[in-house]
Structure 1
Amino acid sequence: MLSAPTALIAIIGPVEPALLTAWTAHYRALGIEDFRLAFHFPDHVPHAWQHQLVTTSRDLGIVPTKISTGSWHEHTNTELRDALREQAGPGWHLLADSDEFHTYPAPLAEVTAAAESAGRQVVGGLMLDRAAADGRLAHWRPETGLDRAFPLGGHLTHRLLHGDPRKIVLARSGVPVASGNHRASGHKPDPDALACVHHFKWRMGVLDDLQRRVEKFTAGDWAEHTPAVREEASRLLDHIDRHHGRIDVADPRLAFRRVTLDQLPTGWTAEARTIATCWHPHATTSHR
C-alpha cells in the first residue's frame, strides 16, 4: 500500500522573494501540495525583508508553520526541520533548502513507490552547483529564469569546497536525518536512482552571507559542531578572490556544463553513482 502524499519540509532564510516564488512553483510542478515551511531570520535581516518574504509565502497560499529570528547556529536548521517533520506526520518527507531544486529520474509518486517496493526508507540525491555562464555571482530576475541566469552545472561543493555533495532528498517520517540532510544513519539510498539537486546558492549577495558566517562562527557568536561549514565558506571566498570575483567555471576539475531543471543531465545516473559511492571527507575536514 502506498503512503500518504509527500510533504515538503524546508527552512527558509533571507532569500529573494522571487526565489521563493520560483522554488514553490518548481515543487508544485512535481506534485507537492503540502508545504511545511519555517522562516528563520538572523538579526541583521531588515524587518521589511522579513515581512516581504512572509507575505510572499502567504500570497503563494502557504502559511508558515513557524517564524523565528536570532542567531543561526549550526543546530538551528536541524531543530526547526525536525519540528516540522514531527508536525507533518506519517508518510514521505521531501527535504529541500530554499536554494535547492530537485530533478528526479521519474515522477515523484513513482520514485517513492519504487523505494517502497525495494524496502528502502530514503531516496538520495547529489548536489550539482549552478553558475552563471561567466562565473559571476549574478543577480537574476524572475523574467529571466534560473536556467537562463545560471545555465551551468558543476561539482563545486565537493571538488573545491570539500563539502559533502550527498543529500537525502526523501525520507520516511520515522527516519532520522543528519544535519544538512546529508545522511540518514542506517539507511542507504539506491545509488542508481539519485536525484539531481540543482544548487542555486552562487548568486549576488552570497559573499556577504559567507563572510558573516565565517566571522560569527569564528567569534563563537553562532555555535558550530565542527569547523566544516566555516572552512567551506572560507575556501569559496578564497577562490573568488583569486579569480577576480568569479567562480572559475573553466576549471576542468569542476566539470561545469550546460544543464536544465526539466531533465537529468546527460549521463547523470552513472556520474552521480560514482561520486556518491566514492566520496569521503577531505583529510582536513571533519565529517558533518
Structure 2
Amino acid sequence: MSSGTNLLGHFLDHYRRLGVDEFLLTLHAEASDPRAQDMLDIMASHGISPRLRTAEFNTRLKLERYRALIGEHCRPEDWILYADMDEFHAYPVAIHELLASCDAAGYRFVRGRMRDRLAAGGQLVPMRPVPSLWEQFPFRASVTSRIRQGWDRKVCAAKPDVVFDEGGMHCLAYGHDRSTNYRLTHLDARGFPNLVDIDHFAWDDTLLKRIETKLAGLGGDSDSTDDPVVMAEYERVRVHLLAHGNIAADDFEVAPLPTHHYER
C-alpha cells in the first residue's frame, strides 16, 4: 500500500465518477498491516473487493499480476485504465467519448504525463477525506522528473493486447533495453497523440516513512533487490527530504483545478 487509507476513498470516487465500469484491484499488504482492514472496508463501501491480495510486491511481480488479471477478466474490445493509487487521470473529455474516438481512429493506447500535486510551500501535510485532493494539494511541480529523476510519462489506458515492458506502465515491450522502449513508446503512432495529465498525489506526510520502508525492503516489498534503478530514485527523494524537510522544487506553481468531465 502506497499511502494512508484516505487516499483510497478519493481514488475510488474519482474513477467511479469518470465512468469506470469495473475495478481490478490488487491489495499489497501484509496480514499484520493495520491499514489492510481499513482498505478492505473502504472498498466494500464502494461495492468492490480486491481481485488479488498478496504481501509480496515488486515491479516485476506487479506486471505479471496485471497480465494475469487482464487475461482472466478482459475482452479484446475492452479498454484498461492503468493507475496506481496515487495517480488520478484528468481526461480532456468524457472517458468513454475519448476511448470511442480512439477505437474509431485505430489508436491502441493513451499516454499521459505525471503532474505532481503539492501542498502550499511543498509541505508534507496529512491527506484528509475532504475536501478534494485538488483543493488540499493545489500546487504542482516536476518532482518525479527533476527531484526523483524518474520517468514521468506513462500509459494511462490501453487495449488488452498491448504488452508492457515493466510494471510501472511507463513503456511498451519492443524487444530493446528499457530506456529505448520508453523512447519508442512515446513516439509510437499507435498511441493517442495528446498527453493526458496524471495528477500525482504522492507527496503527503507519510512520504519519508514510505520511502524508508521501501529502501529497507519491509512490508513484502522486494524492489530493494529486484530493481536497483527504482531504489536509486527513492534514495534521491529521501536525501532531498532530509536536506529540506519538504519538497523544495524549482518550478513550483499554482495549478488550476482540472476539468474532469465526470459522468453522472
Say yes or no: TM over 0.5: yes
**205-214 or 121-130: bigger deviation:** 205-214
Change (3 A) 1:121 1:192: closer
Corresponding residue number in structure 2 for 1:262: 259
Count of residue correspondences: 243
Corresponding residue number in structure 2 for 1:178: 165
Corresponding residue number in structure 2 for 1:232: 233
Post-superposition CA distance 1:253-282 (Å, at most 9, x none): x35332324359xxxxxxxxxxxxxxxxxx
Confirm or deny: 8 A CA contact 1:105 1:193 kept in the other structure: no
Q: Counterparts of 1:162 and 1:248 in 2: how far apart (Å)? A: 14
3-state SS of 1:177 partner: coil
Q: Counterparts of 1:191 and 1:116 in 2: how far apart (Å)? A: 10
Alignment of 1:249-288 (within 5 A): 249=249, 251=250, 254-262=251-259
Alpha-carbon offset, residue 106 of structure 1: 1.4
Corresponding residue number in structure 1 for 2:120: 133
Alpha-carbon offset, residue 175 of structure 1: 1.0
3-state SS of 1:194 partner: strand
Alpha-carbon offset, residue 140 of structure 1: 2.2
Amino acid at match of 1:83: A
Gaps of 5+ in 1: 1-12, 265-288
Amino acid at match of 1:51: Q
Change (3 A) 1:84 1:256: farther
> Quick one: which of 51, 64, 86 aligns to 1:65?
51
Change (3 A) 1:190 1:29: same
Post-superposition CA distance 1:126-158 (Å, at most 9, x none): 111111111111102112321121111221111
Amino acid at match of 1:54: L
Alpha-carbon offset, residue 225 of structure 1: 4.6
Post-superposition CA distance 1:75-132 (Å, at most 9, x none): 2321222222122211111110000000011111121122222222111111111111
1:36 lines up with 2:24 in the alignment: yes
Aligned residues: CA RMSD: 2.3
Q: Counterparts of 2:63 and 2:71 in 1: how far apart (Å)? A: 12
Confirm or deny: 8 A CA contact 2:7 2:127 kept in the other structure: no
Amino acid at match of 2:255: R
Q: Counterparts of 1:215 and 1:63 in 2: how far apart (Å)? A: 29
Change (3 A) 1:224 1:194: farther
Alpha-carbon offset, residue 48 of structure 1: 3.2
Corresponding residue number in structure 2 for 1:284: none
Corresponding residue number in structure 1 for 2:7: 19
Alpha-carbon offset, residue 227 of structure 1: 1.9
Corresponding residue number in structure 2 for 1:273: none
Alpha-carbon offset, residue 196 of structure 1: 0.5
Change (3 A) 1:224 1:260: farther
Confirm or deny: 8 A CA contact 1:16 1:53 kept in the other structure: no
3-state SS of 2:42 partner: helix
Q: Counterparts of 1:182 and 1:172 in 2: how far apart (Å)? A: 15
TM-score (norm 2): 0.84
Alignment of 1:104-119 (within 5 A): 104-119=91-106
3-state SS of 2:80 partner: strand
1:78 lines up with 2:75 in the alignment: no
1:120 lines up with 2:107 in the alignment: yes
Q: Counterparts of 2:225 and 2:91 in 1: how far apart (Å)? A: 32
Corresponding residue number in structure 1 for 2:140: 153
Change (3 A) 1:32 1:191: closer
Alpha-carbon offset, residue 46 of structure 1: 3.7
Corresponding residue number in structure 2 for 1:200: 201
Q: Counterparts of 2:21 and 2:95 in 1: how far apart (Å)? A: 12
Change (3 A) 1:111 1:102: same
Confirm or deny: 8 A CA contact 2:11 2:88 kept in the other structure: yes
Of structures 1 and 2, the one with the larger relative CO (CA 8 A, separation 6+) is: 2
Alpha-carbon offset, residue 192 of structure 1: 3.9
Alpha-carbon offset, residue 212 of structure 1: 2.0
